[in-house]
Amino acid sequence: VQLVESGGGLVKPGGSLRLSCAASGFTFISYSLNWVRQAPGKGLEWVSSISSSSSYIYYADSVKGRFTISRDNAKNAVHLQMNSLRVDDTAVYYCAREVGGSGRMDVWGTGTMVTVSS
Amino acid sequence: QSVLTQPPSVSAAPGQKVTISCSGSSSNIGINYVSWYQQLPGTAPKLLIYDNNKRPSGIPDRFSGSKSGTSATLGITGLQTGDEADYYCGTWDTSLSALYVFGTGTKVTVL
């Protein structure tokens, strides 16, 4: 059972980045997926959630209108399209599996670093 | 700004017990299950407790969780040096729109 994030990097303010999370070892369509971020030296911040069939999608107020979460159940992947990036979006972004809206995030990736700086 | 409040730090000697509180409201802890996560330095968070008081496979029974009203508590007994980490509570908040909230985080130090 594994989640592997990719797509992080350095981007200028106002720029865009697309993060991906590849899943393996479990029945992907049975789980919701979340993105959680952690700014350097700070606590955890939930970013977005997508249900198994993409019927339910939620965003934190801090990213609403700028970030878009999506999933490809055929490829066992979830993506986070990040537009209009700001300096305060700088963080490690984790992908986390959630058991059916229960709030239980039981599998986490190792994270990918996003740095927004001029 | 997190809506779940935790003490910034707790500490105790090896073998002792610590408790970490997580204070919320009627729109989050009051009506939803609470999970607890352990984050060792430089690593990803790890699920420690779910559904208020259940432990995933592999988590020792030194770790326990409870919930009462709009607050939750994580207990760690028989404290070990390997327990030094940051601990976060988390749950869904269904006030205006659904969103997941984490606690402010607590640093556990083994003296």
Residues in chain B within 8 Å Cβ distance of A103 = 32-35, 50, 90-92, 100
Residues ≥6 apart with Cβ < 8 Å to B94: B27, B28, B31, B32
pLDDT band of B97, cuts 50, 70, 90:
confident
Name the amino acid, one letter, at B96: L
Size of chain B in residues: 111
- For an interface test with A, give the residue of B100, B101, B102, B104 to mutate (most A CBs within 10 A): B100
Q: What is the mean pLDDT of chain B?
A: 95
Q: What is the pLDDT of residue B98?
A: 80
The whole-number average pLDDT for the span B15-31 is 96
Residues in chain B within 8 Å Cβ distance of A56 = 98
Residues in chain B within 8 Å Cβ distance of A102 = 33, 50-51
Is A105's CB within 8 Å of B33's CB? no
Which residue from B37, B44, B102 is facing A45, i.e. has the nearest CB? B102
pLDDT in tens, A24-36: 999 999 999 999 9
Q: How close B108 gets to chain A, by Cα (Å)?
A: 14
Count of alpha carbons within 13 Å of A84, Cβ hemisphere only?
Answer: 7
Number of CB pairs < 8 Å for A and B? 70
Residue B1 has pLDDT above 90, yes or no: no
Range with lowest mean pLDDT among B25-29, B73-77, B95-99: B95-99
Which positions of chain A have pLDDT values less than 50? none
Residue B37 has pLDDT above 80, yes or no: yes
Site of tokens 């990040």? A82
Q: Which residue has the higher pLDDT, B96 or A92?
A: A92
**Contact indicator for A32, A101 with CB cutoff of 8 Å:** yes
Residues in chain A within 8 Å Cβ distance of B105 = 43-44
